[in-house]
Amino acid sequence: MTNEPRTPRPIIDREAVLNHLLAARHQRTPTTLWIAVGDVPVLLAEVDRLARLLSRTRLDFANLLAAVRATLGADQDGESDPLAYLRDEIEQHRTGVRLDDGELAA
């Protein structure tokens, strides 16, 4: 495992979006308004991307928690290799899973 943070990087320039909004609020010209409105699809795409990443993260967490519970149960039942559940889930997590749009989830 690496020590690199796995925080998703934003795909938008928040400062530019904020500047477009401020310009539209202060100048109120058609050009500044259209530039600010033009940021909406980009912002919606970013919200969608982050929602997909959050869903994937929640699924990964749920799967890992289920594997931990299965491991603890297997240990309590005296199974010969109770850590197999956890190993399998960690291996699936390491290999990565493709999202619906083909993006590789980390």
Convert the pLDDT of each residue in 4-62 to its tens digit: 567 778 889 999 999 999 999 999 999 999 999 999 999 999 999 999 999 999 999 99
Is 100's pLDDT higher than 90?
Answer: no
Residue 30 phi, psi dihedral angles, 5° rounding: -55, -40
pLDDT, residue 5, reads 60
**pTM of the full structure:** 0.69
Q: Are the C-beta atoms of 60 and 67 separated by less than 8 Å?
A: no
Q: Are the C-beta atoms of 42 and 10 separated by less than 8 Å?
A: no
Residue 76 phi, psi dihedral angles, 5° rounding: -65, -35
Residue 87 phi, psi dihedral angles, 5° rounding: -60, -45
